[in-house]
Structures are given as C-alpha cells and as structure tokens.
Structure 1
Amino acid sequence: MNYFQGLNETTELLWKKLEAWGDQFVLILPNIFLAVLLLIITFKLAGLVRDWTGKFMNRFAHSRALVNLILTLLYTGILLVGFFFALSILKLDRVVVSLLAGVGVVGIALGFAFKDIAANFMAGVIIAVRRPFRVGDMIETNDYFGTIQRISLRTMDIRQTTGETVHLPNKTVFEKPLTNFSVYGTRRIDVEVGISYAEDLEHVQQVVTEALQDVKNRVKTRDIEVMYDAFGDSSINFKARFWVSYSRQVDYVSAKSDAIIRIKKAFDANDILIPFPIRTLDFGIKGGEKLSEELQQLGESFKANFIAGTSKKTED
C-alpha cells in the first residue's frame, strides 16, 4: 500500500513539473518564433550584404585574397550580431556574456599558440593592401631570385630562374629587404672590359658606343655610357653601360651576351687588343743577396768539382 502511494506521489510531482515546463514553453513560444525569424533574416541579410559588397570591391580591389577575407569577416560578423540578438530575445543574456568571455579567452589562447601563422597572415594583409609587387614580377629576396607565381595571405611562391618553386612565408618577405627588377620595366646592364695600355682611349670609347647601338632590347632613348674606372695590372679597365627593356630574366641575359659579342667583333675589326693577364716575377733579391750572384757562385763551384773529378780519373 505504501509502495503504490509513493509511486502516485512521484507521478503527480513529475506531471506538475511537466505542466510547469509546458506553461513556460507556451509563454516563451512567441519569443522562440521571433528568435528563429531573426536568425533567418540575419542569414538572408548577411548573404545580400556580402554579395553587394563583393561586386563593389571587385571593381577597385586588385587582391582577390584580400577581398575574400573582408567578405568572410563581414558575413561572419553579421551572423554573430544576429545570433546574440536572438539569445537576448530568449532572455539568455547571461549566455551571451559567457559566450563573449569564452571567445575572448579562446582568442588569446589561439593567438599564443599560432603566433607565427597570425604574423604571416597579418603580413599577407599588409602586402595585399600596399601591393609592393604583383604576380609576374622578377624579384630577389632572402637569397632567392625568380618570378612571383602566387601571392596568398600566408605565403608567396617564387619560381627561380633554374626552375624550382620556393614557398616563402609572408612574414619573412615583409621583414627582409626585397629588390623588384620589374617595377620600372627597364634595367641597366654593365659590361666590364679591359684594353691594352697602348690603345687610344677616346677611339675605344667611340668604337664601343657604335658597337652597342643595336643591342637586343636596348632602350634607344637612353645614352650608351663608356666610362674608364681603373688602371689594372695589365690593362686599362672600363664599363660599358646601357639600358634594356626588362620583363623576364632572359631579356637581361641575352642583351648582355649580345653586347659582349658585338664588343669583341668591333675590337677585332679595329685591331684593339684585350690583353692577357701579365705577371712579372722578380728574383733579384733573396736573403739579402742577389740571386744572380749566388747562382754564379754555385755554377763555378760545380765546374771546379767537375774538373777536379775528371783530372783524378785521368791520373788513375
């Protein structure tokens, strides 16, 4: 009897609890409807804002990666705002505060854990905004020389002139010096040459200038310069300088090769000598005495010994 009485009391208590929950659910049902409706509107609004902003930015922005980053952040931000408003409608303000605090803690932890990735990411954003170089430019940085193939928000891909592709972190590229050879579309070539001391220097300048007039890809609007800069051991040295159009490394290499060929042919046609290296060895002094005198004494000693040995054999 007591068993059935306890079971009835438990059932009545559970039923009352369910009725209370049902009453509360009915009371908050309009709020749930409003929260769901707000989330639907938020998703639609976020999509429309993202699409409209994307069409606008694509007209002016040059970095697709940066545009995608901004659109993603904008879309996510609108969704978070709508989500927090929905929680507020359901009177879950404490949950909102707890979520914000949790997001802050998680953000700090992730910042310390992935600081290198974050640094590369921020460097990629700055590079995308400032655009100091673009895909196709010929650059040299961090001891790598080649053409930029791809720029992302984390790495930059460089194809070297020997064929290898190097993936450089944006942080490394951002912090180290970088030389961009393609920014102006032209490049100067310096050819170093040495001529004999017997040559007429002004005549050599004229011959070299005429020889370089029709070099491959030469910029005709800039003068050819032939400047002497040193007295060498066996030659007078000069540099022939001229400018060429530059978009690929082969433009520079082929123009320099063509210039060397033309200078050599011009020198041969005008009997201008490119001397071989000359070295003069001086054996005049050794140990404070003249080497020639020491050799003479050594020769006389050898001669005397030879004569003495011959005479002894004759006597025997």
Structure 2
Amino acid sequence: MEFSTLFNDLRSKFNEEVTSKLETWLDTLISMLPEMVMALLVLIVFYVIGKLVRQAVHKLLSKATMNKTVIDLLETIVGIMIISIGIFIALSVLNLDGAVTSLLAGAGIVGLALGFAFQDIASNFISGIILTLRHPFGIGDIIETNDIYGTVRKLNLRNTILQTPQGQIVYIPNKMVFENPLSNFTDERQRRIDLSCGVSYAEDLEQVRQLAIEAIEELENYDSDKDILFFFDEFGGSSINFKVCFWVNFRRNSDFLTPRSDAIMALKKKFDENDITIPFPIRTLDFGIRGGEKLDSMLKGTAPAEENGADS
C-alpha cells in the first residue's frame, strides 16, 4: 500500500514537472514567434542573395579564367560566407548573442589551428587562385619554371602539371611556380634561335658573315619580317667564333628544333661550297723537361744513345 502511494506521488510530480516545462516552452515559443519568423525571413533573404551573388561571381570569373575547378570553389566560398552572415544575424534576432559569440570564437580557433596544420596546402591553394586570375600562362603553353621545361597540361588547386619534351609528367607545387621566375615561350608566339659556330683564323670574316646570312635566308621556316643578326663573339683557341640569330614562329617545340637543325645543315653546306673551314680543336703537345721540344726531335736525340748501349 505504501509502495503504491509512493509510486503515485512520484508519477504525479513527474507529470506536473513535465507539464510545467512544456507550458514554459510553449509560452516561450509563442512569445518568440515574431522573432522566429523574422529570423526565418532573414535566412530566406540571405539565401536568395547568396544565390544571386554566386551567379554574379561565376560570370565575373568566367571572363578571367577557364579553370572550372577554381570558379566552382570560389563560388562555393562566397555562398557559404553569405549564408554564414545570414545565420549570425538570425541568431542575433533570436537574442542568442552568446551563441553567436561562441560560434565566432570557435570558428577563429579552428581556423587558426587549421592554418598552422595545413599552411603548405593553403599556400599552394592561394597561389593557384592567383595564378589562375593573373593568367601568366594557359593550358598548352610551353613554359620553364624551377629549371623544368615543358608544356602546361593542367593547373589545379595544388599543382601545375607540365609534360616535358621527353614525355614525362611533372607536378610542381603552385607556391613554387608563383614565387620563382617563369618563362613563357609561347606567349608572344615567336622565339629567337641563337646559333653558335666558328671558322678558321685564315678565313675572310666579311665573306663568312655574308655566307652565314645567306644560309639563313634560304630557310623556309624563319620569320623574314625580322632582321637576321650576326655577331663575332671571340678569338677562340682554334677558331674565331660567331653567333647568327634569327626568329621563328613558335607554337610547339618542333617549331624551334626543326629550324635550328635546318640552319645547322644549311650553314655547313654553304661553308663547304665556298671552302670555309670550321676547324677542329687543335692541341699542341710539348715534350722534354723544359717543354718546347717536339716528339721527332726527342726521338732523334735518344736514338744514338740506344745504339751505343746496344753495341756495348
């Protein structure tokens, strides 16, 4: 009997407590109904604004870059930022300023920790965005950076991907590409070939200059709108060295390699036809203790001594 009475009392108190809580929550809900409606409207408005801003960002970035990955990522970041602002304002409307402060503090701490943990990834990510917006090179361009020469195959948010003339695929972190010198060989669609050679000291240098220029002028794949440049460089060990320079239209590596090969063959042929010598390196060997003695004189000097030794 006592147990039944105790159980009934506990159930009654529980029901009263639950009913009291529900009534309190209902009263609070009714009192906060205008604020909740206002907060919901704020979220809807910011959602619409975020959608419109994302569309505007997409159009703007599409004019600056063709990298769809970067465009989609920046769109998403802008959209999340606008929605986040809407959420914070909605919480403020609901008088939940403490929750807003806690969220901001937590986001700052998390962002700081992630920044230290993934600073290399973040650097490559930001460098990739800057490279995409500044557009110093495009897909298919031939560039050289960090002592690596090749054709750009892809630019993602972490790496710049090149294919070397030998066919290897090289992944270069965007940070290294952004911070180091970069040469774009296809940006101007032209490239100069500097061809070095040497002739004998006995040759007529004026004739050499004329023949070299004529050899280049006979090529089919050089830019005739630009002058052919010819310079004598130095008095070499066995030749007088010169350099002949001419321009070619450049889209791919063969546009450079083929004219250079043709120029070497044309220059050699032109010099052979006119008895112009491209000398081999010459080396003079000195014999004897003090030097200055030739091999034949050394052999003559030692021959009698060997004969005397044989006779004895």
* TM bin (shorter chain): 0.7 to 0.9
Alignment CA distance shift 1:257-1:298 (3 Å): closer
TM-score, normalised to structure 2's length?
0.88
2:53 is matched with 49
Name whichever of 254-263 and 173-182 sits farther off: 173-182
Write out per-residue CA displacement over residues 52-82 of structure 1, whole angstroms, 9 at most, x where no aligned residue. 4423543x32354554344223211221121
Moved over 6 A (4+): 288-294
Shift of 1:133: 2.2
Q: What does 1:193-272 correspond to in 2, within 5 Å?
A: 193-272=197-276
Q: Pick from 176, 179, 188: which aligns with 2:180?
A: 176
Q: Distance in 2 between matches of 1:301 and 1:71?
A: 96
Task: Report the AA paired with residue 202 of structure 2.
Answer: A
1:110 aligned to 2:114?
yes
Q: Is contact 2:286–2:292 with CA below 8 Å preserved after alignment? A: no
2:24 is matched with 20
1:138 is matched with 142
1:187 is matched with 191
RMSD of aligned residue pairs (Cα, Å): 2.5
Alignment CA distance shift 1:290-1:147 (3 Å): closer
Q: Is contact 1:186–1:246 with CA below 8 Å preserved after alignment? A: yes
Write out per-residue CA displacement over residues 188-217 of structure 1, whole angstroms, 9 at most, x where no aligned residue. 111111222222111121111111113243
Alignment CA distance shift 1:288-1:125 (3 Å): closer
TM-score, normalised to structure 1's length?
0.87
Alignment CA distance shift 1:289-1:103 (3 Å): closer
Write out per-residue CA displacement over residues 92-131 of structure 1, whole angstroms, 9 at most, x where no aligned residue. 1211111011111111111111111111122223222332
Shift of 1:30: 3.7
Aligned residues: 306
Q: Distance in 1 between matches of 2:297 and 2:36?
A: 118
Structure 2: gaps spanning 5 or more residues: none
Q: Is contact 2:193–2:248 with CA below 8 Å preserved after alignment? A: yes
Q: Is contact 2:219–2:262 with CA below 8 Å preserved after alignment? A: yes
1:163 is matched with 167
Shift of 1:290: 6.7
Larger radius of gyration: 1
